[in-house]
Amino acid sequence: MSLDPAQRHQIEQDAITAAWEAERLAACDEAIALLREIVGFERDDNGDVIIGADADGHNDLLSRITTFLATHDQ
């Protein structure tokens, strides 16, 4: 049995929505993982997170956060 155009369109829209929701959930999982790393960082006397850098001034976590935001900024 073939689908009428309206049914086909609805199925396509449902598939697009499901893919978008899966992408958003994956992005949330990535954000949560980054936040969990930050929670475990050393803190100064004021409770602020201490984020170190290597000898060249690079910070892996900040680079990953920047990449994450660039990738998921829609």
pLDDT tens track for 5-63: 999 999 999 999 999 999 989 988 888 888 887 777 777 788 877 776 667 767 777 77
- What is the per-residue pLDDT for 59? 73
The whole-number pLDDT of residue 16 equals: 96
Q: Is the pLDDT of residue 1 over 70?
A: no
pTM of the model: 0.56
Domain limits at 39?
5-72
**Distance spanning both ends of the chain, measured CA to CA:** 39
CA distance 70 to 74: 9
Tally of domains within the chain: 1
